[in-house]
Structure 1
Amino acid sequence: MAKQNAFYAQSGGVTSVINASACGVIETARKHSDQIGTVFAGRNGILGALTEELIDTSALSDETVKQLRHTPGGAFGSCRYKLKDIETHRTQYERLIEVFKAHNIGYFFYNGGNDSADTCLKIAQLAESMNHPLKAVHIPKTVDNDLPVTDNCPGFGSVAKYIAVSTREAALDIESMCATSTKVFILEVMGRHAGWIAGAGGLAGQGEGEAPHLIIFPEIPFDRATVMARVDDCVKKYGYCVIVISEGARYADGTFLADAGTTDAFGHKQLGGVAPTLAGMVKQDLGYKYHWAVADYLQRSARHLASATDVAQAYAVGEAGVKLALEGKNSVMPTIVRTSDTPYRWEIGEACLSDIANVEKFMPRDYITPDGFGISEAGREYFEPLIQGEDYPPYEKGMPVYIQLKHQLAEKKLPDFQP
């Protein structure tokens, strides 16, 4: 078969290691230049394909590509853009295939989470119906760690490390001042429906009385009276209380504690402000002095504190995605398979996109303590290996050295298209 080009795109919220996956894709494709021609990257994700803004990565030196491995953010630009329903907006999907045909693209690597897995599957199916030979492979990425089948998701291990470390450091701060100052500290973390990131905060403490004293998961219905009683008990017993709360914390009826009243491009409710909401309850019900913080983008962009395990896995799924495509696989996703807990070992597997798309993986109940406010030994056994090891970026004058790419676009061959 004649050599074809590849298209790679980054989707959704970026991570501190998503560029390591990009590095894995590009470097592996270059090692197989007899089968893969140019690797194009979508400028601002899938939008780059629709608008035919294709970044020519062949213009990047090997050294520049190598530096992607330690650079956070999305080097080629990402987007929160949901393709419309294929039945009613078929022309949008057909546009993608037309761009692929015009640029001889036979390989599609889409680096993202649940929604992008669905997009990748739909594009693969449409390409087949339009008789365009396309190998579509989803490269897993999400800090939320909620993709099914795979043991964990690249991007999560580094967020978990950041939250665990931040919780421990903040707890030492609060403990040292609690006699005369703040009694309750609340850290809000990401996680709309799944409490994986909040659970990682539990790694900060090892024993009785150590922070965090409460973890509030989306999977456990929030009961104000129970939570306030627990906070009060902690302050009286230890002098202070540290809480890690997921942005997706909700009441028994499914209502979010902090629903912003808007939705994003994918129809998901926009959340934010659960920490001040909970702080208001503490003030009203208990009267304790409090402080709260929102990890927000800091948790997903902190490459200086990345987990070495996470960096290795992010690169590996990018590498594996290319190899799966070259093996003729289509509509698949490389997965991380845990083969041993002690010592921790993992390998790359694969899964069908039909088993991945639009399916969320939640925290197992046995990873959470019986009272619903902490992680169990089973949870700790799951989390701990994922934050292991340090993979520091190079530093210069006290600052990490990251790269910002100059996007050299390929010449357009089709009429303009309005997404």
Structure 2
Amino acid sequence: MKSKARSATGRLLYAQSGGVTAVINATAAGVIQTARAHRVPVYAARNGILGALREELIDTTKESAAAIAALRHTPGGAFGSCRYKLKSLDANRAEYERLIEVFRAHDIRWFLYNGGNDSADTALKISQLGKAMDYDIRCIGVPKTVDNDLAVTDCCPGFGSVAKYTAVSTLEASLDVASMADTSTKVFILEVMGRHAGWIAASSGLAGEGPDAPPHIILFPERVFDEAAFLEKVKATVERVGWCTVVASEGIKNAEGQFLAEAGTRDAFGHTQLGGVAPVLAALVKEKLGYKYHWALPDYLQRSARHMASKTDADQAYAVGKAAVDYALAEMNAVMPVIVRTSDAPYRWKLEPASLEKIANHEKKMPASFLTRDGFGITPAARRYLSPLIRGEMPPPYGREGLPKYVQMKNMAVAKKLEPFAR
């Protein structure tokens, strides 16, 4: 994790990767405020790793202390993010060498990459190439993902807030459905993110407890979708309760291994573009059972709802940013600050460095013990794990017009020193 001593001077480059979260800017605040305390100037890559490749860098020293502090309650990606996966060193060494050239030109001695599995892999490869090219660079992965699927860490910054949004939305929508069920909607279906891991879907289970409490059915990507069992459960619930709330992960598959809702396109990471499982399920309910339905696809709302962020999540997001800088300045390399749970009740956690080799390209799925035997709900073990992550509120400040007061960065560009890079 350590290598030869670094130079006494240099800059830190921070980049955001992939889909943003409601609290990723809290991590950015943790990075910048901690670096400033050590008198280390911070550049940010405009639109993630592409900004580094294009030498499109942002000088955060031009931002006021108040603006940086306001990042803690501002959603979105303050400096821009992107879905762009660097290929292997063998397949496209030129991109990695370009990054080192940019680092060398701007005296970047620390690179902090805030993202998920693919980003951890990229940070690891850059650290390896830095050694091969005899350039002293410290690469630190910073955890972020709404899907909660990063290996090693107990949970991922960004997930707790999505979980809170999902549980609250499930509860509130279900109260609406219950009030109208006698003469109107009998089935409500909420589609949530989660391609391969059902952590977000599971969090909806915190909305209620017991067979008559919503959500009555949760559909997980970890379980094969059984149409007959699903319809039977919906029918039995409506006959017993009078209505039924269903929460479905976008990544549920049938027995043939096909996504129920596949748009047929792929993103830059090679992931199938999903979305639309809720209307598929709704049509099934209408055709087979004849129930009136409503469905919702919150999509970006899940990860941008900073007004409903979990305090636990926001605190952890800031903490990993601070720790990442501390690790970098302590001469660590190719590591990530991960969250270690030390107690469920009361909930306690701490941060520890973990090797990127143990994190990169690994995916954490829900334990089988978190799913009920019928596959339609969560167990007490899941509740013990999930519940602390959505606790606490940290609302943004509001203005006179009744809207949150979010900050907009100046994002002043750093002068370029290299020739344009042709991808």
**Coarse TM-score class (shorter-chain normalised):** over 0.9
Deviation string 1:28-85 (CA, Å, 9 cap, x unpaired) is: 001111xx3x210000001111110110000011111100000000000000011133
Structure 1 residue 88: Cα displacement: 2.4
* Structure 1 partner of 2:3: none
* Structure 2 partner of 1:337: 340
Distance in 1 (alpha carbons) for counterparts of 2:137 and 2:194:
34
Structure 1 residue 170: Cα displacement: 0.3
The gaps in structure 1 that reach 5 residues or longer are none
Q: Does 1:62 align with 2:65?
A: yes
Counterpart among 402, 413, 416 of residue 417 in structure 2: 413
Deviation string 1:292-340 (CA, Å, 9 cap, x unpaired) is: 0001000100000000000000000000001111111100000000000
Distance in 1 (alpha carbons) for counterparts of 2:289 and 2:194:
27
Distance in 2 (alpha carbons) for counterparts of 1:178 and 1:385:
32
Q: Does 1:8 align with 2:14?
A: yes
Q: Match of 2:42, SS?
A: strand
Distance in 2 (alpha carbons) for counterparts of 1:73 and 1:153:
17
Distance in 2 (alpha carbons) for counterparts of 1:80 and 1:404:
22
Equivalence map 1:259-278=2 (5 Å): 259-278=262-281
* Structure 2 partner of 1:24: 30
Counterpart among 226, 231, 253 of residue 228 in structure 1: 231
* Structure 1 partner of 2:407: 403
Distance in 2 (alpha carbons) for counterparts of 1:404 and 1:252:
47
Distance in 2 (alpha carbons) for counterparts of 1:249 and 1:416:
43
The gaps in structure 2 that reach 5 residues or longer are 1-6
Distance in 1 (alpha carbons) for counterparts of 2:255 and 2:129:
41
Q: Cα RMSD between the aligned structures?
A: 0.8
Distance in 2 (alpha carbons) for counterparts of 1:352 and 1:84:
21
Q: Does 1:71 align with 2:74?
A: yes
Q: Match of 1:400, SS?
A: coil
Counterpart among 51, 55, 69 of residue 54 in structure 2: 51
* Structure 1 partner of 2:296: 293
| TM-score, structure 1 normalization | 0.98
Q: Match of 2:290, SS?
A: coil
Structure 1 residue 283: Cα displacement: 1.0
Q: Does 1:188 align with 2:195?
A: no
Amino acid at match of 2:45: G
Counterpart among 119, 122, 136 of residue 133 in structure 1: 136
* Structure 2 partner of 1:356: 359
Q: Does 1:91 align with 2:94?
A: yes
Counterpart among 350, 357, 372 of residue 375 in structure 2: 372
Distance in 1 (alpha carbons) for counterparts of 2:65 and 2:407:
13
Aligned length: 416
Distance in 2 (alpha carbons) for counterparts of 1:88 and 1:324:
30
* Structure 1 partner of 2:218: 215
Structure 1 residue 253: Cα displacement: 3.0
Q: Does 1:284 align with 2:322?
A: no
Structure 1 residue 404: Cα displacement: 1.2
| TM-score, structure 2 normalization | 0.97
Amino acid at match of 1:72: P
Greater shift in the superposed pair: 87-96 or 378-387: 87-96
Percent of matched pairs sharing the same residue: 62
